[in-house]
Amino acid sequence: MRTLTKGNGKTYWVVLTLTLVVFTAAFLLPLVWVLLGAFKPPAELARQPPTILPEVWEPGAYVDAWNFMDLGRFFLNTFVVAIGAWAVQMAVIVPAAYALSKLKPWGGNVILGLMLATLMLPATALLIPVYLTLTDLDLLNNPAGIWLPFAANALNVYLLKRFFDQIPEELLEAARIDGAGTWTTLTRIVLPISRPILAVVSIFAVVAAWKDFIWPLLVFPEPAKQTLSVALQRFAPDTPINLLLAGLVLASLPMVALFLAFQRHILAGLTAGGVKG
Amino acid sequence: MRRHVTAYGFLSAALVVFAVFSWWPIVRGVVLSFQQVNFVTSPDWVGWENFERLFADPLFLVAWRNTAYFTILALVIGFGVPFITAVVLNELRHAKAYFRLLVYLPVMLPPVVTALLWKWFYDPGPGLFNSALRGLDLPTSQWLDSSSTSMISLVLVITWANMGSATLIYLAALQTIPGELYEAADLDGASILEKIWHVTIPQTKFVILMLLLLQVVATMQIFTEPFVMTGGGPEESTVTVLLLLYRYAFYYNDFGTASAMSLILFAVLSVFSFLYLEITRKADA
């Protein structure tokens, strides 16, 4: 398609080369720098000017970081928080969106409206009252303290409902005539058709839970229960710099791997959030 | 009848979760703003006392000034960069996948990881940035260690970390612009800047406005980066509204005043949220 420029000639190649250089320098270089930095011993890291490649390769830093900060425990905690948050959210919002879209009960629109109204609230407006509610329910230091508030995700209810709305009634009618109940219709007909939107919503839910900082910070005062993000910021001041860098690299790997694996879904999902051209 | 019962069965879990963790806390937040909460005795009504305490706290004004400064800096830097990046990327026919991958990669990193990485880059001694500046014979900076550059340093971090989403959303919007509009502009002999001004920007103005408002709402709630990188320093130059709110709640155990603060923040942000809603409604029409 025609765009701003005709896109040929010398200028095009100059702009392309420049963009390649700037992008690589801005987004890839810092990450490579950390990756390499973790291999250098602390004395080499303090040197000015810095060495580009490590003079002494110390791959042991990754192992030491793992043991020093007990990263295995925090990986497991984060994994439990993220996967649990996803599972609970799905269990809560999929039936709800289905009910609002296809069963259309009395007051369904009012309920949807009340849910969507929460989107207008800045996330932090509920920080204190939700924290106190979690305290009342004795959910501090418990992953459920993340899972349950996380399940009240109005945007995802809306995205699922909008997708379910497009599934033709006749399809559900046919299932009903074949004797399928409401639950069977949901699991056998609706969910398989809805795989694309379920994938997008799921990936974003896992990523959001994994990246979150402020909620785990409040919910897990007990060090042994903390997630990677909370633990890393707690360890940062007292950890040798090479070990900290190795820890940061390790903590990023799952999300980078997820991104490389589901790149297409993630980039397509970005524009599914209602922002249209 | 049975349909309604079944439907409410399907809705029940969501209703409970929304009621306990969304709807009730909204009410509770307002109530708490007018109470003193200390966990020992039952909460007392104190009228406007929490608000008066806030207005008497010199740090309250500092926090708002810092947050406003941060929001404006983030708009100037963080808002223009993704748009310009998207406009450039939209012209390129090579390495498209590579560009998209790179610009979105930082979005996937946990914010705490990004904050700690950049803190290391910002180290005025052997840090990456000052080393690079020295290597190029350019003047170095104190970055986070000076109250005059601390805030702009934080803005650079969040721009780097978050610009991927905005860039890709713009890119999607740019691809919906009909090519004929550019052809027509070419016939009129328009320059590249004139085409951006008269075609690109008007054609994407809804997306631009929506992302602008979303960004204002997000940056005014900035917490993780100052919490991890500066703790509000040096000389309180990076104490944001949310950081002060956190201090009231979790250092001073004064949940009433912290709630009063979030009520004020909510009032300010609802102006932007309201504008956002109006614009999306217009865009849908």
- What is the interface pTM, i.e. ipTM, of the complex? 0.90
User: Residue B248 domain-assigned?
Assistant: yes
Q: How confident is the model at residue B86 (pLDDT cuts 50, 70, 90)?
A: very high
pLDDT > 70: percent of chain B: 98
Q: So what's the pLDDT on residue A274?
A: 45
**Is residue A1 scored above 70 in pLDDT?**
no
Q: Do B126 and A48 touch (CB under 8 A)?
A: yes
Q: What are the structure tokens assigned to A133, written together? A: 């509610």
Which residues of A are less than 8 Å from B32 in CB distance? 128-129, 132
Residue B4 forms part of a structural domain: no
The CA distance from B176 to A90, in Å, is: 33
Q: What pLDDT, on a 0 to 100 scale, did the predictor assign at position B285? A: 61
Q: Which of B37, B99, B262 sits opposite A127 (nearest CB)?
A: B262
**DSSP reduced 3-state for B35:** strand
More confident residue, A226 or A183: A226
Residue B117 lies in a domain: yes
Between CA B9 and CA A84 the distance in angstroms is 22
Does residue A276 register a pLDDT over 60?
Answer: no
When pLDDT is averaged across residues A270-274 and rounded to a whole number, the result is 63
Q: How many CB atoms lie within 10 A of CB B162?
A: 20
Query: What is the distance in angstroms between the Cα of B148 and the nearest Cα belonging to chain A?
Result: 24
In this structure, is residue B27 part of a structural domain? no
Domain annotation for chain A: domains and CATH numbers: 9-62 (no CATH), 69-238 (1.10.3720.10)
pLDDT surpasses 70 at A257: yes
Q: Is residue B164 part of a domain?
A: yes
pLDDT at A277: 28
Helix (H) or strand (E) holding B44: strand B44-45
Q: What is the mean pLDDT of chain B?
A: 89
pLDDT the model gives residue A2 = 65
Domain CATH number, residue B120: 1.10.3720.10
Q: Do A7 and B93 touch (CB under 8 A)?
A: yes
State yes or no: pLDDT of B51 exceeds 90: yes
Instruction: Return the HEC string of chain A.
Output: CCCCCCCCHHHHHHHHHHHHHHHHHHHHHHHHHHHHHCCCCHHHHCCCCCCCCCCCCCCHHHHHHHHHCCHHHHHHHHHHHHHHHHHHHHHHHHHHHHHHHHHCCCCHHHHHHHHHHHHHCCHHHHHHHHHHHHHHCCCCCCCHHHHHHHHCCHHHHHHHHHHHHCCCHHHHHHHHHCCCCHHHHHHHHHHHHCHHHHHHHHHHHHHHHHHCCHHHHHHCCCHHHCCHHHHHHHHHHHCCHHHHHHHHHHHHHHHHHHHHHHHHHHHHHHHHHCCCC
Structural domain of B131? 58-284
Q: B283, A276: Cβ pair inside 8 Å?
A: yes
**How many beta-carbon pairs below 8 A join chains A and B?**
287
Chain B residues in contact with A98 (beta carbon < 8 A): 10
Which residue in B has a C-alpha nearest to residue A122's C-alpha? Answer: B266
Backbone angle region of B44, left / alpha / beta, with phi > 0 → left and psi within -120 to 50 → alpha: beta
- Residue B113 has its nearest CB partner, among A49, A152, A232, at A232
The SS3 assignment for B46 reads: coil
CA dist., res. A142 & res. A259, Å (int): 28
Phi-psi region of B127 (alpha: psi -120 to 50; beta: other; left: phi over 0): beta
> Would you place residue A7 in the very low, low, confident or very high pLDDT band (cuts 50, 70, 90)?
low
Q: Which of A129-143, B40-54, B267-281 has the highest mean pLDDT?
A: A129-143
- Mutation target to probe the B interface, by most B beta carbons within 10 A, among A128, A243, A250 is A128
Q: Across the interface, which of B17, B131, B192 has its CB nearest the CB of A152?
A: B17
Chain A nearest-CA distance from B58, in A, is 22
Please report whether residue B34 resides in a domain.
no
B12 to chain A, closest Cα gap in Å: 8
Closest CB to A47: pick one of B17, B126, B176. Answer: B126
The pLDDT tens digits of the residues spanning B23-40 come to 999 999 999 999 887 766
Residues A244, B259: C-beta atoms closer than 8 Å: no
B53 falls within a domain: no
Q: Is residue B44 domain-resident?
A: no
**Above 60 in pLDDT, residue A63?**
yes
pLDDT digits 0-9 by tens, B186-239: 888 888 888 888 888 888 888 888 888 888 888 899 999 999 999 887 888 999
Nearest chain B Cα to A230, which residue?
B112
To the question of pTM greater than 0.80 for the whole model, the response is: yes
pLDDT at B205: 85
For residue B271, the chain A residue with the least C-alpha distance is A120
**What is the percent of chain A where pLDDT is above 90?**
54
Averaged pLDDT score across all residues of chain A = 89
The count of structural domains within chain B is 1
